[in-house]
């Protein structure tokens, strides 16, 4: 009588063989755990990307408020109170659209420029550039909102969303440049004229509040663009 002590492979393997090499339940549990970890990682990545997009959109909205304020405020150039003019009780401001003055105990009075030719070259260029900055910032906000992962206004494919968000980031950077150029140019002209010995004291100006707001706004727009490009 023949006796078989080794597993030949033609019949169901003994439990000792099956248990030592393969466990279907353990394999299924391992695959499920890997899938769950991958799913959690994707959700975490998506949540972080959405948070970055929301932060960029909020910063961009603050930038839009700043750009609009810089464009509308008349405080680009302020009368310089130096030497004997320190006792003069009158303040004058020059902006892109009007000039204003205020005397002691009298409210501010403003007058719109009758012609663009009344403006110096730096303020003439600033008019056009700041209007472009406002338009670019508005367009950047709309494009960025459309390209966010939490919106459903365009194709849901990741590549399409990525292209739209990159476009929004580039528009924010363009708005930053078109804001920074006129503000810095005007500031340079003011400082150059302030130390010009050929000008009398009444012709000298100081940096107005709108210029400082413009520099801060440029930083906000730059931050919004970088976040969208590097999220």
Contact yes or no for 125/115 (Cβ under 8 A): no
134 found inside a domain: yes
Q: State the pLDDT confidence band at 193, using cuts at 50, 70 and 90.
A: confident
Q: Which pLDDT tens digit goes with each residue over 198-228?
A: 777 767 888 999 999 999 999 999 999 999 9
Closest CA to 213 of 94, 80, 108, 74: 74
H or E element in which residue 166 lies: helix 158-194
Percent of the chain with pLDDT over 90: 40
In whole angstroms, give the CA distance from residue 48 to residue 42: 10
Which domain covers residue 144, as residue numbers? Answer: 52-70+120-230
Most confident option among 1-10, 183-192, 199-208: 183-192
91 found inside a domain: no
107 found inside a domain: no
Least confident of 77-81, 121-125, 137-141: 77-81
Q: Which pLDDT tens digit goes with each residue over 59-70?
A: 999 999 999 999
Does 25 score more than 60 pLDDT?
A: yes
109 found inside a domain: no
148 found inside a domain: yes
Least confident of 6-10, 193-197, 225-229: 6-10
Alpha helices in 95-157 (DSSP H): 121-147
| Sign of the torsion angle spanned by Cα atoms 77, 204, 182, 53 | negative
23 found inside a domain: no
196 found inside a domain: yes
Identify each DSSP E strand in 58-97 by its residue range: 77-79, 90-94
Number of independent structural domains in the chain:
1
Residues of 142-173 as b/e, b for ≥16 C-beta within 10 angstroms?
Answer: ebbbbbbeeeeeeeeeeeebeebbbbbbbbbb
Mean pLDDT of the chain: 82
Least confident of 45-59, 150-164, 211-225: 150-164
Least confident of 29-33, 184-188, 195-199: 29-33
22 found inside a domain: no
pTM (2 d.p.):
0.76
Q: 150 CB contacts (<8 Å, ≥6 apart)?
A: 50, 53
Residue 195: give its domain's CATH number: 1.20.140.150
pLDDT at 226: 94
Does 30 score more than 60 pLDDT?
A: yes
Q: Which pLDDT tens digit goes with each residue over 75-90?
A: 999 986 655 545 556 7
């Amino acid at each position: 009588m023949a006796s078989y002590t080794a597993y030949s492979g033609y019949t169901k393997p003994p439990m000792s063989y099956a248990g030592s090499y393969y466990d279907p339940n353990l394999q299924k549990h391992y695959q499920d755990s890997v899938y769950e970890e991958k799913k959690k990682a994707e959700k975490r990545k998506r949540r972080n990307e959405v948070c970055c997009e929301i932060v960029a959109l909020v910063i961009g909205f603050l930038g839009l408020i700043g750009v609009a304020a810089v464009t509308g405020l008349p405080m680009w150039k302020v009368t310089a109170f130096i030497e004997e003019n320190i006792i003069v009780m009158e303040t004058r401001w020059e902006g892109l659209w009007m000039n204003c003055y205020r005397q002691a105990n009298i409210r501010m009075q403003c007058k719109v420029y009758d012609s663009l030719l009344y403006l110096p070259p730096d303020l003439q260029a600033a008019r056009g550039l700041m209007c472009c900055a406002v338009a670019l910032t508005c367009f950047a906000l709309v494009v960025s909102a459309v390209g966010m992962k939490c919106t459903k206004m365009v194709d849901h494919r990741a590549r399409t969303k990525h292209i739209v968000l990159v476009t929004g980031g580039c528009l924010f950077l363009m708005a930053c440049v078109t804001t920074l150029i006129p503000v810095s140019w005007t500031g340079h002209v003011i400082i150059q004229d302030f130390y010009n010995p050929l000008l009398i004291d009444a012709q000298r100006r100081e940096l107005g509040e709108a210029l400082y707001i413009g520099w801060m706004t440029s930083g906000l727009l730059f931050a919004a663009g970088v976040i969208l490009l590097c999220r």
